[in-house]
Copies of this chain bind each other. A is one copy, B any other.
Amino acid sequence: MADSPLRVIALGGFGEIGKNLLALEYEDDILIIDAGLMFPESDMLGIDLVYPDITYLTQRADRLQAVILTHGHEDHIGALPYLLKYLDVPVYATALTRGLAEIKLKEAGLLEDSELHTITPADVLELGCFRVEFFHVCHSIPDAVGVIINTPIGAVVHATDFKFDQEPVDGKLTEVDKLRRVGDQGVLLLMSDSTNADSPGFTPSEQQINATLQDVMAAAPGRIIIATFASNISRIQQVLNIARQNNRRVGVIGRSMVNNVRMAAALGYLDTPYEELLGTSEMNNLPPEQVVIVCTGSQGEPSAVLARLAANEHAQLQIQAGDTVVLSATPIPGNEELVNRIINDLFRLGADVIYSDLSDVHVSGHGSQEDLKLMLALTRPRFFVPMHGEYRHLVLHARLARAAGIPAENMLIVESGGVIEVWPDRIALGEKINGGYVLVDGLSVGDIGAAVLRDRKHLSRDGFLVAMVAIDRATGDVVADPEILTRGFVYVAESEELIEGAKDRMWQVLRTPGAASSARNKIKDVLSQYCYNRTGRRPLILPLVLEV
C-alpha cells in the first residue's frame, strides 16, 4: 500500500477564467498539464497578459517529467513560452496543438531550444512514475485530447475542455469507449471542465450553426465578413464548406488567424491549401457576392481586425454598404460593452450585422450539464475535483457530481494555489502554495503588483496633483513660488481659480513658523481637504519640497 499521496497542484484554471495549468506530483515526479494564460480582468489596468505563477515548478525543476498540452487554445498554451523560458522540460502535444505552440515559441525565439514531441490519442507515454494515455475529445478546436494518468496509486482522468458532439466538423467523436473502459478498470480521480456547469442540457453540435451560415450565405447581397477566434479551425472549415456550396471564396485576415490557418492547412487540418484562399486585393475586387472574409476580433479586442473595421481604420479593408458581418462567437463576460459598440459602429457604416442575440451563430465548445454528467457516468471516479471555471461553476459542477452519486467527502473545490492530496481511500487539502498571477505590462513580466494597480485605479478616477515648492536649505525660506501640476483631476485651463486657491493654502502652511520640517505632510493634508471640499474628488496628492 502506497505511503505517499498523489499531489494535485492547482496552478491555474480553478476559480478563474483561463490560465489553465495543473501539476500532478507523486514523490519525486511532476507532470505538468497545459500552460495557459488569461486576459486581464477589467481592474488590471494597463496589463497586457496574465501568466500563472510558476514558482512552485521552478523550485522543483529537476523533478519535471513533461508538459502535456491538451489543445491549442490560448488559455491552455499561451504561457508555454514563459514556462519554457525558465524550465527545460519536454512538451507533448498532438500535431495541431504542437503547430500552434510552435508559432508562439518561434515568436519568442525559443523554438530551437525547445523539445517538442507529437503524440496521437493512441499513444502511451512513460513519464517518470506516470503512464500516460490520451482520449480524443470534441471541443471548438480539432485535435484536442483528454489525459489518463496512471499513477502508482490509481488512474487520474483529466477531461480538459470537452463536449460530446455527436456530429463534429472533423467527424471525430469524443472517445466514449476509451472512457468507459478506464471507468470499468477504476478511476481514482476525475478532474473535469466546469465552464458550462450552469447550462442545462447537452451543448449543441457545431453543426447547428451550419444552417445559420447557409442562410446568411444564401441571402447576403454582398460580401460576408465572419469574425471568430483565431484558433477556431473547425469554424473556419465550416465556413469553407458552406462557402463552396454557395459559390463564394474565402479569405482570412488578421495576423494570428493567418498564422494559424496557414499552419492548419499545411498540417491537413483544413481541406483547402492556404494558397487558394483570397488575398486582400481579391477581397476588394472580386464581385462582392463571391467573397467571404474570416477575421479576428470577435471579442471586441481593440487592436484586432473587427474593431479596426468598425472604426474604419483598417488599411486593406473597408466596410461597405451591403456587407454582412457575422460575429460567430459569444462575448466573454467583461467584453459585452466593447462588442456591442463594435456592432453599433458596423451598423452605422451601413453593414448588416448578425450577432448572437439574433441568430445561432455560435455554439460553445464546452459541455453543458448533461455532457458533464455523462463524463461522470462513464468514468465513475472515486474522487472528483471540478476544474476550468469560475468559483460558481466549480460549485455547480460539484453539485452535479453529488447528484451522480459521489459523496461530498470524496470531492474538493479548490482555487488556484490550492493543493489536493489524494490517497487510495481519501482526499484532503494540502498546504496552499502561491498560485497567483504574474502580470505582463509592456516588456516586463511580474514587476507590476497590487500597489501599482491601486495607484492606477486611483489615478483613473480622480487624477493627481503635484504640489511643489523650493526652499532654501539653510534658512527654510521659500525661494520659488509654489507650483501645481495636475492631470485627470480638473480641466486645468478652466480651473485657474481652484489652482490659485491651492497655492494660497500652500502659502498658509509655509508661512507657519517652523513649518519647513513637516511641510510635506501638512501640504498633503491641507490640499486633500481643499480638493475634496471644492470638488468632491480625491486626487492623488504628491507634495514635493525641493531644497536648494
Task: Evaluate whether A463 and B468 lie within 8 angstroms (CB atoms) in the complex, with A392-B344, A480-B546, A491-B447 already known.
Answer: no
Decide if A464 touches B491 in the complex (CB within 8 Å): no
A447 partner residues in chain B, CB cutoff 8 A: 490-491, 494-495
Let me know if A514 is at the binding interface, CB within 8 A: no
Partner of A198, one of B358, B390, B464, B495: B358
Let me know if A1 is at the binding interface, CB within 8 A: no
Chain-B contact segment, one of A59-67, A72-80, A282-290, A535-543? A535-543
Chain-B contact segment, one of A94-102, A267-275, A335-343? A335-343
Residues 15-54 of A at the B interface (beta carbon under 8 Å): 15, 41-42, 45-46
Considering the complex, give the chain B residue whose CB is closest to the CB of A493.
B451
Considering the complex, give the chain B residue whose CB is closest to the CB of A199.
B357
Let me know if A333 is at the binding interface, CB within 8 A: yes
Total copies of the chain: 2
Measured between C-beta atoms, what is the minimum distance from A17 to chain B in Å? 9
Decide if B485 touches A480 in the complex (CB within 8 Å): no
Let me know if A483 is at the binding interface, CB within 8 A: yes
Encode A184-199 as 1/0 by CB contact (under 8 A) with B.
0000000000000011
**What is the number of residues of chain A that contact chain B, defined by CB distance less than 8 Å?**
68
Measured between C-beta atoms, what is the minimum distance from A543 to chain B in Å? 10
Task: Evaluate whether A544 and B483 lie within 8 angstroms (CB atoms) in the complex, with A390-B344, A491-B451 already known.
Answer: yes
Decide if B449 touches A491 in the complex (CB within 8 Å): yes
A125 partner residues in chain B, CB cutoff 8 A: none
Decide if B46 touches A340 in the complex (CB within 8 Å): no
A451 partner residues in chain B, CB cutoff 8 A: 491
By Cβ-Cβ distance, the 5 closest A-B pairs, closest first, are A442-B536, A460-B460, A443-B536, A334-B337, A46-B461
Q: List 30 A-B contacts (CB under 8 A).
A: A15-B344, A42-B337, A46-B463, A198-B355, A333-B336, A333-B340, A334-B337, A336-B336, A340-B392, A343-B392, A345-B391, A347-B392, A347-B395, A348-B391, A353-B392, A441-B535, A441-B537, A442-B536, A443-B536, A452-B487, A452-B489, A455-B487, A455-B488, A456-B461, A459-B459, A466-B542, A468-B544, A480-B546, A485-B542, A485-B544
